[in-house]
Chains A and B, each alone.
Chain A
Amino acid sequence: MERPVLARRAWLLLFMDAAERNLITPIKISDVHRLVYLANSTAPIFRLPVLEGYLVKNRRGPYFPSLSWDIGRLVGQGLIDPSEIELTKDEIGTWLDGKIQLNTRGMAVCDRICEYPFMKEVSAYLREFMRAYAGLNGESPAMLSDCDIHYDTVSFGLPVITGSDHNLANEAAEALLLDYRVPTSREKLHRYLRYLNYCEIGGEDAA
């Protein structure tokens, strides 16, 4: 069971590296969960596997218990720096939030991870994902995940399944392409995130 855990943490480090390269860090932990959900569910657009294809729809937005655990471990290993950690209370209950950011040691680890060709591909995807996300003009782009085709259609408390056999991201992204365009993976990804932004802030303001 050790290898999947390592793969998951390597993925998370590359995800944080991509955010760092787009100058959008530190990121709120709750937003990390949402963006990880989205990056995971749109990975098949780049023919990459979905690492976490199952979660229960939570009122606070996508939440992966394993991700929280991994963040804690990476902070403990000195690869990710936490800041502004605070306990917040709302109508649903108590919630631990804060911000995280990859540090220079974490960046060096990312460089080593990218020596593996498959992980280099994953890194290119995550950087493209983050580049698309950073270019959106929504006020709270992390809320985009709520509009995702898999997430939107499920009621709270029920499972959201985005695993490879059930994933519709590529199909949805292709549906958004204009007829006269030759579909490219990167165009599909950018367009799909634009679509989510469109749904989130509503109407033509987003387009």
Chain B
Amino acid sequence: MRPKQEIAKARLREAIADITRSENPNYVPALPATNETAALELFRQLAEFLTEWLSDSTKSSSGEPCAFVQVRSIQPYKNLGAAIHRLAARTNIEVGRKVFLCGENLAVTIAIDAPTDDGEDSYDAICELLDSKELSELPHAIFTPNNGKFVLFPDGAKGTHIPLDIKSIMNGDTRLTLEALEHEIDAFHEQFTKFPSGSATPWDNVKEGVLRSQMEISITRLLVVYLSYGRPGDVIFSELHLPIGRPDILIQSSAMHEGIGACVLELKVLRGRRYSSSGRKFVSISDKRNLRWAKSGIIQVMNYARIMKAGCAYLICFDARKNDGELPGLEQLAEHNNVRQMNLRMYTSTKAEREAVLEDESGE
């Protein structure tokens, strides 16, 4: 190495001590900056901001709702007479009855006041403002301080909506034990993927038992947001590139209870049916193929855990097969490789779930 760069490296080492002393790791986004993930990452940051905002006793709040919209550019909204805020640095700001235009982070946001008409409900005023400025079709979220409800519309008002409760995650130790992690994943499944009405809207054709395409990616993104929500620090990541591939989710050791270490999750969706290549017919997917798919997940996650020196590894199967028969050898392979496995059944209806439970019981 050239001597001058040696000097620079020495300076770098000096800086490390200073930076880590006042370590505030809460700045690395959990999701990458792509079209598919940018809105979810913004919502994640907003949830963190609103959690702090709610707990800040110096804030003044009318309790009225507000909205946050992700825009690609501020140019079309230049003439709205808006005020610029650095939301990331301020929690004592009054957010009520405002629409905030955000980019891909909270460093710069533009606030527009909703008109105050006598007698008009402030929620309606916000929605009206979103509609009148053609913002409602963009990714946005509406927050109601009174009850802590934070409703996300990642694909605009006509798409899926994801309700979150800000107040419920305000207190307590957020570090995870393995049991707590599994509990959170179960809770995620209940809200997002278990039934057709789940927030992830997993099914494309419920009657024929066909899931939406790209479900693995979609579930991964939502699970990252769900797990990192209310958990301070940049602890949960998606899209980490390794020479051997890309683990779905990495939870840094600082988010886990002491002694557990980092945790890597691999998600696999097991499908019952899919569209044929012409898109007009349906093709069943055999258990053999699903088993191979799930087993490949075990090999992947085992390798990721080894390379990253992770303390634990999970294979999480979102199981949308028509039957709930066991996949022979999967559990043994997981156990043999020290991989914990979760199988989360996805149902086409609540009736289908009841029938599956009854069948299980009669089988036993």
Interface residues of A, Cβ cutoff 8 Å to B: 18, 20-25, 47, 101-104, 107, 120, 123-124, 127-128, 130-132, 134-135, 137, 149-150, 152-154, 168, 171-172, 175-176, 178, 180-182, 184-187, 190-191, 194-195, 198-199, 203-204, 207
Contacts and interface: CB of A to CB of B under 8 A. Distances in A.
Nearest to A192: B12
Contact of A176 (B5, B12, B254): B12
Contacts of A135: 27, 88, 105, 107
Contacts of B285: none
Contacts of A152: 8
Contacts of B34: 120, 123-124, 127
A207 B74 contact: no
A176 B17 CA distance: 9
A182 B308 CA distance: 6
B302 to A, nearest CB: 16
Contacts of B283: none
Contacts of B7: 153
A128 B101 CA distance: 19
A198 B18 contact: yes
A21 B103 contact: yes
A131 to B, nearest CB: 5
Contacts of A131: 29, 33, 104-105
* Interface SS of A by simple majority: helix
Contacts of A187: 28, 234, 237
A22 B108 contact: yes
Contacts of B71: 23
Interface of B: 1-2, 4-5, 7-9, 11-13, 15-16, 18-24, 27-29, 32-34, 38, 71-75, 88-89, 101-105, 107-110, 234, 237, 239-241, 250, 252-254, 262, 308-310
Contacts of B29: 128, 131, 186, 190
A153 B262 contact: no
A141 B5 CA distance: 23
Contacts of A130: 33, 104
Contacts of A207: 18-19, 21-24
A195 B33 contact: no
A168 B240 contact: no
B75 A103 contact: yes
Nearest to B250: A182
Given A176-B19, A178-B20, A186 B237 contact: yes
B89 A182 contact: no
Given A21-B104, A23-B74, A178-B20, 12 more contacts: A21-B73, A124-B34, A127-B34, A130-B104, A135-B105, A153-B2, A153-B5, A168-B1, A182-B309, A198-B15, A204-B22, A207-B18
A120 to B, nearest CB: 8
11 contacts: A22-B105, A23-B102, A23-B108, A153-B4, A168-B5, A172-B12, A176-B19, A181-B254, A185-B241, A186-B239, A207-B23
A131 B15 CA distance: 22
Nearest to B89: A137
A195 B104 contact: no
A124 B31 CA distance: 11
B20 A20 contact: no
A15 B103 CA distance: 15
Nearest to A137: B89
B32 A124 contact: yes
Contacts of B309: 182
A180 B262 CA distance: 9
Contact of B18 (A25, A134, A153, A204): A204
A106 B250 CA distance: 36
Most buried by A among B9, B105, B109: B105
A203 B4 contact: no
- 10 shortest interchain CB distances as A-B pairs: A127-B33, A153-B4, A23-B103, A134-B107, A23-B108, A207-B22, A184-B240, A22-B103, A182-B308, A20-B73
B23 A154 contact: no
Nearest to B310: A182
A107 B13 CA distance: 41
Nearest to A149: B8
Task: Pick the most buried of B20, B102, B107: most chain A CB atoms within 10 A of its CB.
Answer: B107
A20 B241 CA distance: 26
Contacts of B102: 23
Contacts of B22: 204, 207
